[in-house]
Amino acid sequence: MELRNAYPGTHATSNAAFLSAATSKWTESSDYELATTADQIAAAQLGKQTRLPSLELAMDLLTVVGQCDNGYACVYQNNLSWSSPRTPLPAEAHPRIAFERLFGDGGSKQDQQAELRRKASLLDGVSEDIARLRGRLGSGDRRRVEQYLDTVREVERRIQKAEAATADSQLPDLDRPVGVPALYADHARLMFDLQVLALQGDVTRVITFQLARETSTRTYPEIGVSDPHHPLTHNRGNAEMVAKVAKINAFHVSLFAGFLQKLKATPEGNGSLLDHSVYLYGSGMGNPDVHDHVNLPILVAGGAAGRIKGGLHIKYKEPTPLANLHLTLLNKVGVNVDKFADSKDTIKELL
């Protein structure tokens, strides 16, 4: 599959086009413009049924502004989701803030911090409501509620542990918000667990997660890769560098696979959360060494409540717009649109 509208080939346009299949306006200033992304088209309809229309998450603290890539504003590289052509939606990388957004009482940041000082857990504030709910449920539903609340408490405990471990640190990782787990894998698993809780509690039905940022200089010593990620991708075929990139890619995919296993292990209706959801995993960059946007690595997981046929490997003979997949997935989740960006058709194999 390809992102024709992502050209000229840059990291900024790659990230911006992944969910929009649109051309980024070339600008370094605040007059940036893209298009509404597929997730936000879904959120406009599905979000009416949940407390949060959508949830945007990331792994890095993105504070860079101005020009980031060949004259393109940093906003294209920093944001996956756009609710309109002029409105990018910032992603949250801090587990505590994401947790409070899902389960907190709202209000300003200062209000939430004051509330946290008064409570050992955010769940303490709804203990009476939970007790009343238990009294109206059967034994099976009570068990499910208890399991869910236990998971919420465990995630909150892990967040508190990470915050305690980094509270006195004098050398914070500039790419990592203070108060998150020191290891990349632990941070990623925590962010994935928050997504499971959000879906399980029907807090939101639309989530985006930037697992790895374009032009990232992150290293991965936990898997034996001490070289920065982005420079490794410009390897000119060097076998050692290619092997290290493959190792990073496999690491990322393994984290996503673990997330899918949790969705599969979480009961939902007559199946699991994985059976009733659909996730798109991939990148807007094909071969990063030459900055192209063809032969994209794309994976679709989940059953969409029986609407998607799985177990397929689809390889096209001719370049096919990624927008075809976005159009197909939108229709599969009940958001019926006739066309998305440069789509030409739906993907029949998934029907």
| 317-336: average pLDDT | 96
SS3 247: helix
Residue-wise pLDDT tens digits, 129-153 = 677 777 777 777 777 777 777 777 7
How far apart, in whole angstroms, are the C-alpha atoms of residue 177 and residue 93?
A: 7
Query: CB within 8 A of 9, min separation 6: which ones?
Result: 290, 291, 292, 293
The predicted-structure confidence for 36-93, as pLDDT tens digits, reads as follows: 999 999 999 999 999 899 999 999 876 556 667 788 999 999 999 999 999 999 999 9
Per-residue confidence (pLDDT) for residue 114, from 0 to 100: 54
Which pLDDT band holds residue 110 (cuts at 50, 70, 90)?
low
Span 9-36, average pLDDT: 93
Q: Rounded CA gap, 37 and 83, in Å?
A: 7
Owner of token pair 């940036």: 32
CB-count burial class (<10 Å; 0-12, 13-18, 19+) for 185: middle
User: Is the pLDDT assigned to residue 118 strictly greater than 70?
Assistant: no
- Contact (Cβ atoms closer than 8 angstroms) between residue 344 and residue 321: yes
Contact status, residue 277 vs residue 206, Cβ threshold 8 Å: no
Q: Which CATH class is domain 4-93+180-350?
A: alpha beta
How much of the chain, in percent, has pLDDT values that exceed 70? Answer: 85
pLDDT for 173 beyond 50: no
12 φ/ψ sector (left φ>0, alpha ψ -120 to 50, else beta): alpha
How big, in percent rounded to 5, are the helix, strand and coil portions of the chain? 45, 10, 45
Residues 189-247 pLDDT 10s = 999 999 999 999 999 999 999 999 898 999 999 999 999 999 999 999 999 999 999 99
Burial zone of 149 (CB within 10 Å; 0-12 exposed, 13-18 middle, 19+ buried): middle
Interatomic CA distance for residues 83 and 334, integer angstroms: 19
Q: Which pTM value belongs to this model?
A: 0.84
CB 212 within 8 A of CB 59: yes
Q: Which pLDDT belongs to residue 138?
A: 79
What pLDDT band is residue 119 in, cutting at 50, 70 and 90?
very low
Mean pLDDT on 322-342: 97
